[in-house]
Structure 1
C-alpha cells in the first residue's frame, strides 16, 4: 500500500485528539477543538462539546481552506479552523476559539503537531505490520510440520534467509530484556523479551556473533544446534542443549548440541517420567544440595576440587553427597545412578 492510500484511510481517534488538546492547552490559553473528517468534535478543552458537530469545521472541510470566524454566531464561535490535509485528503480540522488575530499564530503550530502525530502513527503502523508479518513467518518456520513452499522461500529472502540452504541455530537467553534493534549482521527473531533465535548460514559468523552477544549482554547463555535443513529442527536442538546448560553447568555460558546430544536423546526417553519428577521434587526443597551436585559434576567428580569450589571441608562435601543419596535413593558416587541425577537436573529446567 502506498503512502497516499494509507493517509486516505487514516482516521484520527478520540484518544489521539484529546491527548493533543490536553498537551497543547497547557501552553495555549484558548480552547482547542479537534474534529474528524466529518466535522465531528473528537477532542476538546470543553468535554461537553465532544461528539457534537462543529459548523466552522464543516465549512473548512467543504471549502478545503482555513475558515476564520470573527463574531460569535448561533452555531459557531469566533476563532480559526484549519483543515488537516495529507496527500490531498482532508482527515480532520483543528480549531482554536478566540479572537482571530490572537489565535491565528497558534493555528499552524497546532496543525503541525497533529500532522506530526499522524506521520508518526502511520510509520508505527507500518512498522507493526512488518513486525507481525515477520513473527507470523517465524511461527511457521519453527513448526516442525511446516513444509517450505515457494512462497515461504521467497518471503524468507526478505529477512536474509535462504530456506534452500542448511542452517545452524544459535539460541540465546539473557537475564535482561534484549533490545529489539540489537545490531547483528545475521537474521534473528525474538522468541520472548529475553530470548533470541539467530539463524546462521555462514559458519565464519559464529565467533563474531558470540563476541557481540557477550559484549552487549555479558550474562547471556548461548546454545548452538547442528547444521540442519529446517529451522525448526535446529531450534529444537538448540533449546534442548540450553536445558542441559542451565540444568548441569554452573560456570559455563556456551554449549553445542553436538556435545550433549546423547544426554538429550536419553532425556527424551524419560519424558514425563515420574521418577525424574520425584527426584527433582525432593531436591528442589534443598537448593544447597542441587548446587553441590552441579559443582560435583562440573569438577568431574573430583572431591577435593568440588570442596574447594564450594569452600567447604571435604567431610562436609561427603555429608552432602550422602544426604543426596538418602533423599533420592541415588548415589552420586555411583556412575550409573549419577546419570539419573544428571537427567533429573536437566528435566527440572523448563
Structure 2
C-alpha cells in the first residue's frame, strides 16, 4: 500500500511554491505535516487536515475559523487521492476566495506526482524482485514450484530455452544501464549482475546473434566489455544452471589463457576449459613437461607458434605452412626439432593430442 513520505511531500511543496506566491503544506493520512514551505511546521499536527481526513472533502478555513484551530492558518485544504484512496491532504495558505480558482489544479498536479512516484517505486520493486528470482532460479533450489509459479506471474517465462552469455566489464562500470539496454533490445532476456564487474545475460535460444558485432555496438555506446563467454542452448533450468557454470569456467579460462580473445565460445573451447578447471591436478602437470622442454630452447617462440598452428590446422602440412608463411621443408624441420626436444612426435595422433592438450594450459602471449 502506497503511503506519502517526507521526500515526496517536500518535492510537491517545492514544485508548487516555485509557481505560487503562497505557502504549501502536505500532510499524511494522520494529519502530520510532512512537507512545508515553513520548515518549523514539519512534523507538527494540522487540525485542518484532520477535518479533511474525517470528512473526505475540501475544507476552507477563513481568518475567524483559523483562530479556533491549533496549528492552522487561513487557506484551503484538499484531500489527496491515489487509486481512489485518501492518502493525505494538500494545504495552501492564504485567502480562500483568492485560492479557489486554481486549488483544484494544484491538487491534480500533486496527485500526478504521487502517481508517478508510485509507478517508479513499483518498477523498482519489480526489478529488484526479478533479480532476486533469477538468483534463486539459477541456484541449487531453483526448481521449487512456488518459485516457478512466481516467475511465470512476473513474466519471466522460465520454460524458454536460453543461451547464457557472461560479460566481463572493466572495473568501475555499472551494470544497470547495460541490463536495461539488453532487455529493451532483446525481449524475454534474463539479465543478472553476477558481480561488480560481470553480467549474466540469458538470451532466448531462438535469437540468432553475431557476438563480435554486438561487442562493437557496445563499444560504440561506451560500455567497455573485456570479454564475453557464450554457452550453448540450455533446455530447462537445470540445463541452464549447468551451462552457467560452464561459461563461468570459460570466462576464467579466457582471462588466464587467451587474454586478447574477446569472444569465447563454449563449443570451441569445451575441452580446454574442462582441463583448465582441473589445472591444479598433478596429473595435468605431466602434459606440460614436454612443452617446457621445447620452451627452454625456443627463445623467440617460433617452435611454440608452429606447434599451435599445426594443431589448429589438424596436422595438415600445406595448410599449416601457408598459415605460417614458410616452405613445407621448413615446417618439416621445425616439427622434427619439436619431436627431438619434447620427446613426443606431433606427427602421430597420440602425440599431437598430448601436445594439443598441453598447449591449452599454456597462456597465450
TM-score category by the smaller chain?
A: 0.5 to 0.7
TM-score, reference length from structure 1: 0.68
Match of 1:237 in 2: 246
Distance 1:127 1:150 in 2: 25
Structure 2's unaligned 5+ residue stretches are 286-299, 311-354
Shift, 1:198, TM fit: 2.9
Match of 1:226 in 2: 232
Distance 1:194 1:205 in 2: 25
Shift, 1:335, TM fit: 8.8
Match of 1:248 in 2: 257
* Shift in alpha-carbon separation, 1:195–1:184, aligned structure 2, 3 A: farther
Distance 2:132 2:266 in 1: 27
Structure 1's unaligned 5+ residue stretches are 1-8, 277-291, 303-333, 346-350
| 1:264 and 2:259 matched | no
* Shift in alpha-carbon separation, 1:67–1:299, aligned structure 2, 3 A: farther
Match of 1:101 among 76, 97, 104: 97
User: Structure 2 matches for 1:11-90, cutoff 5 A?
Assistant: 11-71=3-63, 72-75=66-69, 76-90=72-86
Quick check: 2:52–2:78 contact (8 Å CA) kept in 1? yes
Q: Return 121-130 or 38-47, whichever deviates more.
A: 121-130
* Shift in alpha-carbon separation, 1:102–1:189, aligned structure 2, 3 A: same
Quick check: 2:31–2:49 contact (8 Å CA) kept in 1? yes
Secondary structure of the 2:363 match is helix
Shift, 1:270, TM fit: 3.2
Secondary structure of the 2:4 match is coil
| 1:160 and 2:157 matched | yes
Secondary structure of the 1:51 match is coil
Match of 1:199 among 195, 198, 202: 202
Match of 2:141 in 1: 146
Report Cα offsets for 1:289-329 as digits up to 9, x if no partner: xxx99xx9799589xxxxxxxxxxxxxxxxxxxxxxxxxxx
Report Cα offsets for 1:75-99 as digits up to 9, x if no partner: 2321111111234321111111112
* Shift in alpha-carbon separation, 1:102–1:87, aligned structure 2, 3 A: same
Shift, 1:63, TM fit: 2.5
Determine which structure has more spread, i.e. the larger CA radius of gyration. Answer: 2
Q: Return 147-156 or 54-63, whichever deviates more.
A: 147-156
Quick check: 2:249–2:277 contact (8 Å CA) kept in 1? no
Question: Number of residue pairs matched?
Answer: 288
